[in-house]
Amino acid sequence: MTSLLNQRLALLQHQAPDLLRECRHGIEKESLRIRPDGTLAMTAHPAALGAALTHSQITTDYSEALLEFITDAHTTADAALVELDAIHRFTYGQLANEQLWTHSMPCKLPSEADIPIAQYGSSAIGQLKSIYRQGLAVRYGKAMQCIAGIHYNFSLPEALWPLLQQAEGDAQPAQQYQSQAYIDLIRNFRRYSWLLMYLFGASPAVCASFLQGRPHGLDQLDEHTLYLPYATSLRMSDLGYQNSAQASLTPCYEELGSYLDSLRHAVSTPYPTYEAIGTKKDGQWQQLNTNLLQIENEYYSNIRPKRVAASGERPLQALRRRGVQYVEVRCLDINPFLPLGIDSHQAHFLDSFLLFCALSESPSMDGEECREASANFALTVKQGRRPGLLLNERGRPRTLRDWGESLCDQMEACAIALDSAYGGHAHHEALSLMRQRLCDPALTPSAQVLSQLKREHCAFFTFACQQASQHAADFRDRPLDNSSQAAFVASAQASLKAQTELEAQPQPDMDSFVAAYIAQLD
């Protein structure tokens, strides 16, 4: 255990042993709506689910068919999972014969031109959201808009930061100290996030239709399935949201100001390829602007510093004004064997992992270490289960298993501290389960997916359809009680009313509205 981690945990145990019970946990989960035959649903977002623009729990992401479920921030991970389960059960009650795809990599897709982009109504803000997604389609292709994942939101107690700051004799402003602590967490996350890909990656294979003739370098498992034998997460490989523009982006994670400056530069700097496309074609919007990023959220990082933004406030503005409030982990695949795509063991391990990243020493990362971290991550997503796989730790080769076991050893004190605060042994038990996956790669979700494909001699698409049907039956067999059902119906109706009221207001000219939105960072 590092000396700083040891000191901070000892301080907590001595002065505030229950403080960690105030950590906050939230989950955002994406799932494609599919038709009974397993192909992409071409219907509009169901009105019974409410308005995607104004509903706080049920919205859409990039594609019209890509539902996104959002839980509140809870003091326990289990409470977030309970809410996520309720959202699924309500949704299935409104979907008629449609189901939810239970994999990160998409179902059989129609041609690019026919994949529907998410629509948010006629208000100016609704149109802006759709224009942004049109820009993503132009820049990355619509098939990429159908990739799904899970985001895990995590914050440490607000009272923790002044406690640590006073003990460490730090004299900087409190907001600056807290933001720096989260940036330090993010640096450590970048160093060690390859471990999450090994433990939780669940997309080693993909339906051949997803590539639609593009070069890929994958092996052929059968006529309809492409894969890599030791891959953990093709979603997080160069098959996902990657292009030359994003590859040139290297945000600085030394302190919040430099991070915000690097993203501000990206959203303000024209990019020749996008300039050639233009913002409009034949009077129709193609993208919000021709800059390297249309908006800051276009940067597809594995983790983000976050702050809840006020209405009309851009994320960068919120962070610059009020500092970092929590982190959003964005590299998690949907586990197709789990109805929710995530379970309590994974959540409890993530809590220990993130606490370890937050409280341990986090030295600055020079360019060489940044490249090393990116290379370790890329190698793990494509070859993570290869026997004896070597990563690089500050220039020295080290096997993934040995390094992973060492990290688990260091995390044990964090798991014990969390269990002490919450009661029980959930965090330590989760850590023990993940140690088993390091000892036996066959226990990882990615290995289990390939094992089932080979054992049953079925295509990825067939297997995924079977999982979708099983999970659909699970949720439909457990309808909500009358009170919970009524609450969800009321929320859906309230969101529809809110959108109607918004659209009834005088709307600004879209050119002026987009220009004003973009200019907020000037």
- Domain layout of the chain by residue ranges: 3-519
Taking residue 328's Cβ as centre, other Cβ atoms within 10 Å add up to 16
> How high is the pLDDT of residue 428?
98
- What distance in Å separates the CA atoms of residue 228 and residue 233, rounded to the nearest whole number? 10
pLDDT band at 243 (very low <50, low <70, confident <90, very high): low
- pLDDT tens digits, one per residue of 170-190: 999 999 999 999 999 999 999
CATH architecture for segment(s) 3-519: 2-Layer Sandwich (3.30)
Mean per-residue pLDDT, 370-395: 96
**What b/e sequence results for 422-440 when a residue is b if at least 16 CB atoms lie within 10 Å of its CB, and e otherwise?**
beeebbbbbbeebbebbee
Alpha carbons 31 and 87: distance in angstroms, whole number: 12
How high is the pLDDT of residue 239? 79
Give the end-to-end CA distance of the chain in Å, rounded to a whole number. Answer: 45
What phi-psi label fits residue 38: left (phi over 0), alpha (psi between -120 and 50 degrees) or beta? left
Q: Is the pLDDT of residue 241 over 60?
A: no
Q: What is the pLDDT of residue 468?
A: 97
Question: What is the model's pTM?
Answer: 0.97
Per residue in 204-237, is it b (16+ CB within 10 Å) or e — as a string? bbbbbbbeeeeebebeebbeebbbbebbbbbbbb
Residue 240: pLDDT band with limits 50, 70, 90: low
Tokens of 441: 């790669």
Q: What is the pLDDT of residues 66-86, one digit of tens each?
A: 999 999 999 999 999 999 999
DSSP letters, 260-308, are HHHHHHHTTSB-HHHHHH-SEETTEE--S-SBS-SSGGGS--SEEEE-P
pLDDT digits (tens, 9 = 90+) for 18-47: 999 999 999 999 999 999 999 999 999 999
b (16+ CB within 10 A) / e for 24-63? bbbbbbbbbbbbeebebbeeebbebbbbbbbbebbbbbbb
Residue 401 vs residue 519, higher pLDDT:
401
What six digits make up the tokens of 476? 């439909």
CB 460 within 8 A of CB 225: yes
* Tens of pLDDT, residues 330-375: 999 999 999 999 999 999 999 999 999 999 999 999 889 999 999 9
Q: How many percent of the chain have pLDDT more than 90? A: 89
Strands 99-100 and 58-60: unpaired
What would the two tokens of residue 360 be?
């341990």
Mean pLDDT of the chain: 95
Binned at pLDDT 50, 70 and 90, residue 209 comes out as confident
Residue 338's alpha-carbon distances to 16, 81, 156, 344, in angstroms, are: 36, 12, 27, 11
Per-residue pLDDT band for 252 (boundaries 50, 70, 90) equals confident
The pLDDT of residue 279: 97
Contacts of 63 (CB under 8 A, 6+ apart): 32, 40, 115, 116, 117, 118, 133, 142, 145, 146
- Does residue 213 carry a pLDDT above 80? no
Cα–Cα distance measured from residue 346 to residue 331, given in angstroms and rounded to the nearest whole number: 13
Q: Please tell me the predicted confidence (pLDDT) of residue 215.
A: 80
Amino acid 222: pLDDT: 92
Distances (CA, A) of 383 to 88, 236, 376, 405: 33, 12, 10, 18
- Both tokens assigned to 475: 């949720």
